[in-house]
Amino acid sequence: MTISQLFNVANLFVLPFWALMILLPNWKVTRQIMSSYLPFVILAGAYVYLFINSITPENAQALSNPQLADIAKFFTDETAAATGWIHFLVMDLFIGRWIYWEGQKTGIWTIHSLALCLFAGPMGLLSHILTDWITKTFFPQFQQNETVTVGEKAASSSGT
């Protein structure tokens, strides 16, 4: 598989997970899939493969004492750029998964934060932190009611 093909496969690989968390957050299958670390193992494996293949003695030296110009030069290499992109995919999905589970536990609305996280991970994380703070500060009753509702949904979907 070429670097370009691996890049394309990784981009497509993450989309079903995002779709499930955003479009079907309370579905039992979504919860089962998102409770697994397997997607992260697969993506991290692709990352490690690319990382190993992108390191040269020159790159290793540049990364050991990072200067912006050296990092910019490092990412002009296609393999290094693909490595960096898969790094984003893994970490954004991991943070998205955390946001998803926080929403499942607390009942706080997460769709907007997950959508932001899909396209710009740190903005999605910030969005969730602010949403959580606003909900707890200004709407504590709503959050408590939603928590019960999510818990009831989880209990009813598991048959308890």
pLDDT digits (tens, 9 = 90+) for 20-72: 999 999 999 999 999 999 999 999 999 999 999 888 888 888 788 888 998 88
Q: What is the pLDDT of residue 58?
A: 81
Integer Cα distance of 41 and 79 in angstroms: 20
Confidence category of residue 143, pLDDT binned at 50, 70, 90 = low
Exposure class string for 36-69: b at 16+ Cβ within 10 A, else e: eeebbeebbebbebbbeebeeeebeebeeeeeee
Residue partners of 26: CB distance under 8 A and separation at least 6: 104, 150, 153, 157
Integer Cα distance of 146 and 158 in angstroms: 18
Average model confidence (pLDDT) across the chain: 88
Confidence category of residue 13, pLDDT binned at 50, 70, 90 = very high
Enter the tokens of residue 14: 């993450």
User: Is the whole-model pTM more than 0.85?
Assistant: no
Enter the tokens of residue 127: 């969005």
For the chain, the distance separating the N- and C-terminal CA atoms, rounded to the nearest angstrom, is 46
Measured over all CA atoms, what is the biggest interatomic distance in the chain, rounded to whole angstroms?
A: 59
**Of 135, 62, 127, 69, whose CA–CA distance to 98 is shortest?**
127
* Residue of 141 and 106 predicted with greater confidence: 106
Residue corresponding to tokens 């079907």: 24
Residue partners of 22: CB distance under 8 A and separation at least 6: 111, 114, 115, 118
Residue partners of 143: CB distance under 8 A and separation at least 6: 106, 107, 108, 135, 136
Model confidence pLDDT, tens digit, residues 73-103? 888 889 999 999 999 999 999 999 999 999 9
